[in-house]
Structure 1
Amino acid sequence: MSFDIQPKHLQNDLIKLVPLQETDFDKLFEVASNPLVWEQHPNPNRYKLEDFTNYFKGAIESKGAFLIVDAATNETVGCSRYYDYNEEDSSILIGYTFIGTKFWGNGYNKALKKLMLDYAFQFVDKVYFHIGAFNYRSQKAIKKIGAIKVDEFEVEYYGEASKLNFVYLINKN
């Protein structure tokens, strides 16, 4: 069985992940246009149309991005993606994730990570996460689900200047 980094449908009780489409731009930007979403992110200006347009273009081109949708209401929750699959290292990255403030603190991020990890661990032994050095909220959340910090380095986000990121790892075991 080969690793499809953008399966047609992943779902649990709280959320469903649907492959990101060009037609999702407006509803996703509506969630992303809140500056609080990006406050601690390496690019705090992604709430602006030009910066978000660049983010969205990269997401579409990645062929691994998902629209996160509330399973009960079909509301747009945010976006995440798989990227940098390395068959030789048996690893993949999960990232470029954002969740609308309305959904913070309600289990959506945990449900998202569990869904994505459970799927990925059918194909790989390691999942990495790049998290901005000053994104304390995301660092705290990823540690809560068992990730450990393994490295620090500059990451060049799609079409953006490089920024210091911490690398976290969760092993299949």
Structure 2
Amino acid sequence: MDRQPTLTGSLVRLRPLVEADRDALFAVASDPLIWEQHPAHDRWKPDVFAEFFDDALAKGGALAVEDTRDGTLIGSSRLQNYDPADGGSVEIGWTFLAREHWRTGVNREMKRMMLDHAFVHVAKVVFTVGEQNHRSRAAMAGMGAQPTGLVEEHDTPTGRVRLIQYALSRPA
């Protein structure tokens, strides 16, 4: 499975994330309000973002999200944790977008393109969402993803974080 495809829709283009994207992506990620419901709510800090970005490059599957109108980098997502066993599965996640692109259809289009690409190769797509991330949980419900249960729980400097897994199966 190609975890770094180039996919183009009417609103966004997804392409492999590269080192040269670091500064432009940090400019998007440096908005603390993007992360307020996210378990890693301090990802707007330069050192925390640098670790996130380095991890994205190291693991592969990271995608840059560009606005099709002008090519501006407006966010990122990943196709990660690919497992070819039992029909195959992959995780879609680590997604964030500049706030001016929230509620514009960008996230829906981006996820639809990623799901269409993934379902050519796998039978199941999983998502992991912080329990307090109400925006992402609403998005999961909107796309028909079903919760499969608690997958991780750990303490952070600002409190206990609970992550919930959701799954979608390949349409028949």
Question: Which range, TM-score by smaller chain?
Answer: over 0.9
Counterpart for residue 123 of structure 1: 121
Counterpart for residue 144 of structure 1: 142
Compute the displacement of 1:18 (Å): 1.2
- What's the CA shift string for 1:103-150, capped at 9, x where partnerless? 001001101100100000000010000001110110001210111111
In the alignment, structure 1 residue 113 sits paired with structure 2 residue 117: no
In 1, distance between residues paired with 2:81 and 2:149? 16
Q: 1:65 to 1:155 in 2, by over 3 A?
A: farther
In the alignment, structure 1 residue 133 sits paired with structure 2 residue 144: no
In the alignment, structure 1 residue 68 sits paired with structure 2 residue 65: yes
> What does 1:4-19 align with in structure 2 at a 5 Å threshold?
4-7=2-5, 9-19=6-16
Code of the aligned partner of 2:4: Q
In the alignment, structure 1 residue 35 sits paired with structure 2 residue 39: no
> What does 1:16-95 align with in structure 2 at a 5 Å threshold?
16-89=13-86, 90-95=88-93
Number of paired residues? 166
Code of the aligned partner of 1:53: A
Compute the displacement of 1:71 (Å): 1.0
Counterpart for residue 153 of structure 1: 151
Three-state SS of the structure 2 residue aligned to 1:102 is: helix
Query: Any stretches of 5+ residues in structure 1 without a counterpart?
Result: 157-161
Three-state SS of the structure 2 residue aligned to 1:47 is: coil
In 2, distance between residues paired with 1:96 and 1:29? 14
In 1, distance between residues paired with 2:65 and 2:148? 28
Compute the displacement of 1:163 (Å): 3.8
Three-state SS of the structure 2 residue aligned to 1:111 is: helix
Query: Any stretches of 5+ residues in structure 2 without a counterpart?
Result: 155-159
Compute the displacement of 1:154 (Å): 1.1
Q: Identity rate of aligned residues, in percent?
A: 38
Three-state SS of the structure 1 residue aligned to 2:114 is: helix
Code of the aligned partner of 1:132: G
Three-state SS of the structure 1 residue aligned to 2:127 is: strand
Compute the displacement of 1:72 (Å): 1.4
In 2, distance between residues paired with 1:98 and 1:37? 7
In 2, distance between residues paired with 1:163 and 1:25? 27
Compute the displacement of 1:155 (Å): 6.5
The ranges of structure 1 where at least 4 consecutive aligned residues each deviate by more than 6 angstroms after the TM superposition are none
Counterpart for residue 159 of structure 1: none
In 2, distance between residues paired with 1:164 and 1:92? 21
